[in-house]
Amino acid sequence: VTLQSPSGPAGRAFSFVGGTDGTWRITRSSAVIGAALPEASRVDVIESMVASPPPGALWVLRGVTSNERYVTRPERQLLVARQPPLGRPEAACAALIPIRKSASWWDLTQDERREILETRSEHIKIGLRYLPAVARRLHHSRDLGEPFDFITWFEYSPEHAMRFEELVGHLRASEEWKYVDREVDVRLVRGAL
Amino acid sequence: VTLQSPSGPAGRAFSFVGGTDGTWRITRSSAVIGAALPEASRVDVIESMVASPPPGALWVLRGVTSNERYVTRPERQLLVARQPPLGRPEAACAALIPIRKSASWWDLTQDERREILETRSEHIKIGLRYLPAVARRLHHSRDLGEPFDFITWFEYSPEHAMRFEELVGHLRASEEWKYVDREVDVRLVRGAL
């Protein structure tokens, strides 16, 4: 007998390794709420769940893409119609934003979380306004025993950098963000420079 | 740098090991939908995510308890008021029922899954009818890359055995169960006999 998928669900597991290697160079790493991440110069995005830190790693964050938890059918149709893929050549800027939500968030029921996330905070509606400028992939980490609950990876072109600041500004000002008890904001540029 | 919580989220990770050891003796193991589990005589319930199969293991199923995905506040209040704890001395019978849901289930949006699970299948309402006779703990496995999406562990006393059959019969007849594409039903009794 062997344990299944030690590297996580096939095609859905990702590891972000902060260290000295990787395609993405860190330009800024800030603790928005709570503790920062150790200082690293690059991030390597690995398409599996790494079981032990690679050589040179200063931190490792892991997550899995999963079914959506809040989006309705009409919202999904809008998202699918507008959202761009990751890896666009012109999208040379990225942001890696891991967040953790408080125990009081997780103690809310599904309907209460949806009410805060969308009815009162317009998380989905705000995100839609920045499509197709900003590409995004959400990773779930809480049930893996990771230090953050979610990791979002964003990609955008330098010309949309101010739009991206506007997007994160709107979300951080929302009622939903009162339940965020740790957030780090890592900004990156692609390439070897 | 070390990877966090290799044994899963603290207090929320569980492993069910089928083999020759453990408190619970298997009385019957049936494939309800899809492939069976290898034949074992006992199940050991371990309160962490085991990384490698213990000696004598024939199968290992792992999962984590998590926030509820569908329950509303009024439903939770009814559940909390009625649901008994695991480990009652009189609850000498257990059932370990791992299920996997189809890709078409996971492709539904949150509102569509809730509609099928409760509005049309009354999953929560049916469960409430069997409280406090049947104690239950739900474990999520899909995002761990496990072979099943959920593992439910039930405990009940021998006098409620027929009630328990009624409960699983209702659920299996529901519209929700059309989306179940693998299910195994393992029945157990506590003790060394």
Asked if this assembly's ipTM is beyond 0.85, the reply is yes
- pTM comes to 0.96
Gap between the Cα atoms of B9 and B176, Å rounded: 29
Helix (H/G/I), strand (E/B), else coil: A178 = helix
A157: exposed, middle or buried (Cβ count in 10 Å: 0-12, 13-18, 19+): middle
Q: What is the pLDDT of residues A69-99, one digit of tens each?
A: 999 999 999 999 999 999 999 999 999 999 9
Chain B CB within 8 Å of residue A145 CB: yes
State yes or no: pLDDT of B69 exceeds 90.
yes
Across the range A130-152, mean pLDDT stands at: 97
Contact between B9 and A69 using a beta-carbon 8 Å cutoff: no
**Residue ranges of A 44-63 with Cβ closer than 8 A to chain B:** 49-53, 57-60, 62
In the block, residue with structure tokens 């994160």: A168
State yes or no: pLDDT of A1 exceeds 70.
yes
Contact between B60 and A1 using a beta-carbon 8 Å cutoff: yes
Q: In whole numbers, what is the pLDDT of chain A averaged over residues?
A: 96
Q: What is the pLDDT of residues B2-47, one digit of tens each?
A: 776 668 899 999 999 999 999 999 999 999 999 999 999 999 999 9
Shortest CB distance from A66 goes to which of B9, B71, B143? B143
Strand partners, B16: B45, B61
Q: What is the pLDDT of residues B124-143, one digit of tens each?
A: 999 999 999 999 999 999 99
Residue of A nearest to B107 (CA): A67
CA B70 to chain CA mean position, Å? 16
Q: In whole numbers, what is the pLDDT of chain B averaged over residues?
A: 96
Chain A CB within 8 Å of residue B81 CB: no
Residue of B nearest to A106 (CA): B67
Across the range A49-60, mean pLDDT stands at: 93
pLDDT confidence of residue B3:
75
pLDDT confidence of residue B192:
66
Residues of chain B contacting A115 with CB distance shorter than 8 Å: none
pLDDT confidence of residue B89:
96
Residues of chain A contacting B2 with CB distance shorter than 8 Å: 53
Q: Residue A192 — pLDDT band, cuts 50, 70, 90?
A: low
Contact between A143 and B12 using a beta-carbon 8 Å cutoff: yes
CB-facing half-sphere around the CA of B11: CA atoms within 13 A = 0
Gap between the Cα atoms of A173 and A162, Å rounded: 17
pLDDT confidence of residue A4:
63
Q: Residue A112 — pLDDT band, cuts 50, 70, 90?
A: very high
pLDDT confidence of residue B5:
61
Chain B CB within 8 Å of residue A77 CB: no
Q: Which amino acid is at A39?
A: E
Which of B144, B149, B150 is most worth mutating to test chain A (most A CB atoms within 10 A of its CB)?
A: B144
pLDDT confidence of residue B193:
59
Across the range A135-142, mean pLDDT stands at: 98
pLDDT confidence of residue B191:
87
Chain B CB within 8 Å of residue A109 CB: yes
Chain A CB within 8 Å of residue B73 CB: yes
State yes or no: pLDDT of B75 exceeds 80.
yes
pLDDT confidence of residue A191:
87
Contact between B1 and A59 using a beta-carbon 8 Å cutoff: yes
Strand partners, B12: none
Beta strands B180-190 and B93-101: pairing type?
antiparallel
Contact between A145 and B9 using a beta-carbon 8 Å cutoff: yes
Q: What is the pLDDT of residues B175-187, one digit of tens each?
A: 999 999 999 999 9
Gap between the Cα atoms of A24 and A17, Å rounded: 10
Helix or strand run (H / E) with residue B168: helix B161-172
Q: Residue A26 — pLDDT band, cuts 50, 70, 90?
A: very high
Q: What is the pLDDT of residues B161-177, one digit of tens each?
A: 999 999 999 999 999 99
Contact between A51 and B5 using a beta-carbon 8 Å cutoff: no
Shortest CB distance from B143 goes to which of A58, A64, A73? A64
Dihedral sign, Cα of residue B118, residue A79, residue A63, residue A61: negative
Q: How many CB atoms lie under 10 A from the CB of residue B191?
A: 9
